[in-house]
Chain A
Amino acid sequence: MEGLSAVLESLPYIISGIPVTLGLVALSLLVGLALGVPMGVATVYGNRVIVKIIQVFVFILRGLPNLVLLFLFYFGIFPLLGWNLSSFTIGVITLGLRSAAYQTEIFRGAILSLGEGQMLAALSVGMSRNQAIWNIILPQALRLALPGWSNEYPILLTDSSVTYAIGVAEILTRGGQMVTRTYQPMPIYLTCALIFIFLNWGGMQIIQWGEKKTYIPGLGRKM
């Protein structure tokens, strides 16, 4: 059983890539959230110039393959700027910006699905636009966005493996290194696959727990 012994030999090394992968995913999700929520709000309530700028951003970021964007940052843009960023950081920026583009659309859709009545009612009792967005629109839109948003986790988890190409020591990178050492590609890549599946399952549990926690009658589904 050369395969099994290769797996056993590689396992600790590959597993120590899990925090790296999860770190990439968590930070990218956060970057995406931090940019996606305000951009989603701005596409609905912002002025025309801002909306146009965001639309261009979303169009470009969604139109580029992950790997292309990664290489552009890693070999082009950051070296040109003279910034010496780690592969990990560049991975987070790439995945995070792309996720921001998708999340912008998720939040835009959630806000639009509320209808204009919520804003009208908030304004009619004397709230400013910002008060209305903060107290009335976002608490509802974020809840409605959760099912769509929960897609972002498996997408980022699986996409995170492209950082292999710039040498981030995540799960697949480590798996690849062990393959060149043991010449057992099938068992080792299968091990990587199982780890990804397991991480995906774990993340989904957390998201579903979150959906349950934030459930309110009439908003979202009961589980």
Chain B
Amino acid sequence: MGRKEDLYPGFRKENVNSMNTTKATPILVVENIYKAYGKTEILKGVSFTVNKGETKVIIGPSGAGKSTLLKCINQLIIPDKGRVFLNGEEVLHSHSQINRFRQKIGMVFQNFYLFDHITALENVEVALLKVKKMKRPEAREKALKELARVGMKDKAHLYPAELSGGQAQRVSIARALAMDPEVMLFDEPTSALDPELTGEVLEVMKDLAKEGVTMVVVTHEMGFASSVADEVIFMEEGKILESGPPIQIFFHPQEERTKKFLSRISELYGELNRNG
């Protein structure tokens, strides 16, 4: 299906905000995160830094701890050990602190998790009203602006059940963007979508990357990773095995296990295409 050729289209020529820029300002610092459930260790000391405007893509087999890692960043899961810094300030999970940080860390979930009882517009609006305590006209204006940004303004009055998966995911991106976050976390944003709907979500994400939104993306979309990522992180068994610019990870992986994973992924995608 020509997928192999599509796999690594258009590597970023200029790494606009890559690590070797001298002006790089770290927005998010993740330091030595550990998490275990009983005897099962999910994360075994994960550290990385995201600079302003950067897009980091985290890849790795399921069970590697990618989703847990993202949820540890905004403390939806409290890590056992390790620290997270946002703009130089430590993210604490105490009641008085955490809501302030979570506003600044946008999150997009695999299954969208739109609020099912309110319209697309109200989904984007609700946190502006209840958390940011904006006045209604102001919140509405902001919400419509964010919906326009993801191309969903004309569907603003629809309920989540009336949206396609791709549309729902775009609304959930707008919901997170409305809080003006410092960094956006994407937890397999296209994994629950039909193949023909992943494109519209990836397009929105590419636009955000171009606009300079700082993003951490867990995904299996290697095409997206190769064309958008400033750095690709390969995770396995709760650890970062290797990381680097996409061209290095995809064409010259250092680790045997990275090679194995990448070949498995392209096999899988080929198979998915054959089965329609």
Contact = CB atoms under 8 A, between A and B. Distances in A.
Tell me whether A and B are bound partners. yes
A125 B173 CA distance: 11
B102 interface: yes
Interface in B193-217: none
A217 B118 CA distance: 10
Given A117-B113, A120-B109, A216-B117, A126 B99 contact: yes
A121 B130 contact: no
Interface stretch (A57-65, A72-80, A135-143): A135-143
B159 interface: yes
B102 A126 contact: yes
Interface residues of A, number: 21
Given A217-B161, A218-B161, A124 B116 contact: no
Contact of A143 (B99, B107, B117, B127): B117
Given A125-B102, A126-B100, A139-B117, A131 B159 contact: no
Interface residues of B, number: 30
Interface in A122-173: 122-128, 131, 135-136, 139-140, 143
A64 to B, nearest CB: 36
Given A128-B99, A217-B159, A217-B162, A123 B111 contact: no
A125 B127 contact: yes
A118 interface: yes
Nearest to B115: A136
Contacts of B116: 118, 140, 216, 218-219
**For A118, A121, A131, A143, which residue has the most chain B Cβ atoms within 10 angstroms?**
A121
Interface of B: 74, 76, 95, 99-100, 102-103, 105-107, 109, 111, 113-118, 126-127, 130-131, 159-162, 172, 175-176, 179
Interface of A: 117-118, 120-128, 131, 135-136, 139-140, 143, 216-219
